[in-house]
Amino acid sequence: AVDAQRLLGRIRELGAAGRDGEGRLVRLAASDADRLGRDLFVGWLRQAGLDIAVDRVGNIFGIWQSADNAAQAPLLIGSHIDTVIDAGIYDGCYGVLAGLEVIETLKASGFSPSRPVAVAAFTNEEGVRYTPDMMGSLVHAGGIGVETVLAAVGTDGSVLGQELARIGYAGDQEPGFLKPHAYLELHIEQGPVLEREGVPIGAVENLQGISWQRITIDGVANHAGTTPMSMRSDAGHAAARVITFLHDRAKASNKPTVATVGTMRFEPNAINVIPSRAIFTVDLRDPDEQRLQAEEAALAAYLEHLAAAENVAISVERLARFEPVIFDIRIVELIEAAAKNHGLGVKRMTSGAGHDAQMMARIAPAAMIFVPSAGGISHNPREHTEDAELVAGANILLDVVTELAK
C-alpha cells in the first residue's frame, strides 16, 4: 500500500505553494506560481531517485528505469499541476503526486517492473491562460505542433514559449520522446456522480467531446439616456441573448449536453454607454459527437439570426475542439478488478472534464480512475475529497500499475 501520509502531505504542500495576495490558488500555466509548483515536484522526483526529463513545451517526466527494462516501452502515469483561477488543491495535482507515490512505493517494495514506469506533469492542462486545454499532452501525442504551442498568446498577452523560458522550464527533450506502453490517470471526479451514488471508485470508460469558442459581438457605442431602445445596436444585450439561448437549450434537452459562458468582457464598459463590443467564451460539451456537432450548428444558426435581429456583427474563433474519447476496455476492467479486490464499489462512468488521458489515448491504451468530489464541486477552493478516498484511489492505481508493469 502507498504511504498515505507522504501522499497527503505532498498534496497539501503543493496546494499551499505560491498562493496569491488574496490567498487564492492561481497556478496558471508557466506563471511564477507554476514555477514554484514545478520546483517542488522536481525536488520530489529527485529525492525519489528518478531520471528527470523536461521537454520543449515544459512537460516534466520522472522516469524509473533500470538497465534490464530500459528497452521496453514505459508505463506512463500522468496528470497536471497547473490550476484554474481560485482553484482547489486536488484537480490534477492528486494524480501527479499519486503517480509519484506509486513509483516510490513499488521501488521501496523491491518490485522489479518489466518496463520503465514514469510519471508526467503536463503543461497547461487547464487551458485558462493559453488555449487549447490539455496542451502539453496534446503536443506529446502529436496533435498540435510544438512551434504553434510555443507561440500561443495568453489572456494576459504573454507568449507561452517566452514564459516557459522565463520560469526555467523550456526543456530540451523533443515532445513525444517517450512512447508509452499504456497511460493511466487518477483524478478527482470533479462532478457529483460518485458521491451521489455512494461509490468510491470510478472506472472511466469514456470522456465527452469539448468545443471551445470565443465570440466577439460588435455593436455601436451610444448614449444610454438618449438612444431609443429601437435604435440600439447593443453588443452586451446580444451577448446576454447568447447566454440565455445556450442555457435554455442545454437545460431543456434531456441530453447530457452542458453549455457554459465563463468569461465576459464589455467595451467600453462604462455605466452610461451602450456596449460597442462584447467578447466571451463558450464551452460546449457532449459525450456524443453527433449531438455536439448539432449543438455547435444550433449555436451558429442562432448567431446568424441574432446578428440580423440585433443589428450587430458577430465573429467566432475556435479555441479548442476535441471529439469524445473511448478508453481502453482492458484497462477499465483492470481498474474494476482492483477495486473489487479491495472490496470497494466501482462504477463505469463518463468523464465530464477534459483530461490529459484524452490526448494520450491517441497514442497508447489509456484509462482513468476517479474518486469522489464532495458536492460535485471543482474549479473552486471548496473542492474536496476525503483523505481515505484519496488514499483508496492511489492504492487502486498501485494495483493497476503493478498489473501492467509486472
Ligand X SMILES: NC(=O)NCCC(=O)O
Q: In this chain, which of 4, 273, 307, 344 binds its own copies, going by CB under 8 A? A: 273
In angstroms, the Cα distances linking 252 to 193, 239, 247, 262, 351 are 20, 20, 8, 20, 22
Residue with smaller CB distance to its own copies, 66 or 253: 253
125 binds, among ligand X, its own copies, none (CB under 5 to 8 A by kind): ligand X
Distant-in-sequence contacts of 16-25, Cβ < 8 A, 24+ apart: 16/89, 24/85, 24/86, 24/87, 24/381, 25/83, 25/86, 25/87, 25/88, 25/89, 25/381
Residue 21 or 223 with smaller CB distance to ligand X = 223
In the list its own copies, ligand X, none, the entry touching 8 (Cβ below 5 to 8 angstroms by class) is: none
Region for 376 from its dihedrals, namely left if φ exceeds 0, alpha if ψ lies in -120 to 50, beta otherwise: left
- The sign of the CA dihedral 83, 369, 320, 314 is negative
Phi, psi of 358 (to 5 degrees): -60, -35
Residues binding its own copies: number (CB under 8 A): 73
Q: Which of 303, 353, 364, 369 binds its own copies (CB under 8 A)?
A: 353
Residue 158 CA to residue 30 CA, distance in Å, equals 10
In the range 187-216, which residues lie near its own copies by CB under 8 A? 189-192, 208, 210, 212
How far is residue 255's CA from residue 272's CA, in Å, rounded to a whole number?
A: 41
* List of residues contacting ligand X (CB under 6 A): 91, 125-127, 133, 190, 223-225, 272, 353-355
Task: Please give the residues from 49 up to 108 whose contact with its own copies meets the rule CB under 8 A.
Answer: 84-86
CB of 267 to ligand X, least distance (A): 17
According to CB under 8 A, which one of 374, 379, 384, 403 is a site residue for its own copies?
379
Smallest gap from Cβ 314 to ligand X, in A, equals: 24
The whole-angstrom distance between residue 341's C-alpha and the CA centroid of its chain comes to: 30
From the list 46, 179, 251, 305, which residue makes contact with its own copies (rule: CB under 8 A)? 251
- Taking CB within 5 to 8 Å according to partner kind, which of ligand X, its own copies, none is near residue 208? its own copies
